[in-house]
Structure 1
């Protein structure tokens, strides 16, 4: 009796397991279309109690459940094979490590497949340009980006901009990557007594700008003018002026060193002043022998006779000519004009 009950218990357990497995396989039909899904859910719920319940035809019911399970497995497998063939994929899922590796490669491919945006950039060389007064070199603009760069404007700005000029070779030009162009900067130091500074401002696409610092200096001139007592003479000339007045004629020499007469801006202005007396300004030329000779005529009045006079000769009194030194530009001497004679005549005076 006990043995029979044990056998029945074991058979019941086996049939329960078969029913559970068959119900699970039949339930896999729930991933199919609507009608198939409904049938799969119903079979999955009905098969376990249909097989495990004690009663007539229990073995037949178990066999019928196994048959349904086989049909469900075939339907599920054939659907998976069809999807795999259509998508060129396998039914068995790949290992998680392979999924992560493929995902990483996909991300990397996505990141590297999008090329960066091309940008046009300009660079100016040198960073600083010295002019003494000739500039050291030209200014070069180079396209350093990944796209063509347009040179919109080239301006000179800064406190000393009036002393600098530039040529137009690069303005409005489009430079391919790696291409460059150059232009010339000129410094004109006329009237400048100190170092002049400015900037070359180059503007390109999207308001991108680059700058070159400019520095201009006036080198010490080699030219030098001078006046000395060598060749100095003073002549009293009655009625020498155009209006018949007497005059004191002062003869002097102007020397030139470090340059030729052709390098002078023009005639050299000279101012001659007598105290007491008058002041006159004359312009003198310098000969090819680098020595200029001229005469300054100082008109005399009756009060100028019978007394001494202090005379000053000044070369380039307005400092218009740049010189190496101006310490020798002034000559001072004294001359005494005797009392006026009843019958005045030309006389050479000591000075």
Structure 2
């Protein structure tokens, strides 16, 4: 039984190679570590005597009602961690009342996931624009209520743990949404990552703002752009038709040397204004982290790795219940009756 959301890593009992696939970052993992050190350095000044008994954590995220200001981050190949994979975590998200974001690289077809949880769809830009259009149409037809374009993966970052492990997917775990499953992911390569070989075959590194404008033109559901760190890119995303941006460094798995997402959050909000929805991804490990992100100005956060650890431990529902408890405890201790009060807290750096 976990006492904190961060405990699930120790309870996950994965093979060393699969553990490294989740835990690792790119390069020397500087950005991976920076995500946590930046959160640890943030201080929040609590308020007192607010008469708060039961904080209200409910909100609406891009038109989706949510019991917590949280969405399950898009994460690939979840059948690596549990036989039911995405279905198990999506069911937990549905019970928790939060959006589940389906990855292009999910190991269960998106239609099956969307049937059991309020879902958004995360899109990678593929070489085949027809395949991109087909994914968008499938997501919309399945009832996905938002489209999240991940823009920071022209190529996969060099993830040295996977290289050293010659990481390869088992044959039963595939990119279930792709017509051509790109067999590179299952071909062992000594001293190389088969998953990186797969993304190199599938992804188009020339993805540009004009392509994003095309995406906007073919769907009417809310459009989010994930992978924003520079305020200029946030403004460009708005110009291209985005309804929201996600401040993210991909969990430290792409450009090693990028700032912590939480450190980039404030300048992005200053650029786009308080009325434009901004989400935060990367580094969230518990309810106090959620509160810190909201106090700086995020409208909601994406939670990733801790839920994969919980998935592997067979405890996805328990983990989301625990995250809600952690957030409510943090709000009580900070004197906040609701999320508007959290946004009014004063933050600093230690």
Q: Which has the larger radius of gyration?
A: 1
TM interval, short-chain normalised: under 0.3
Give the TM-score of the pair, scaled to structure 2: 0.16
Q: Could you say which structure has the greater relative contact order, defined with CA pairs below 8 angstroms and 6 or more residues apart? A: 2
Give the TM-score of the pair, scaled to structure 1: 0.16
More strand by share: 1
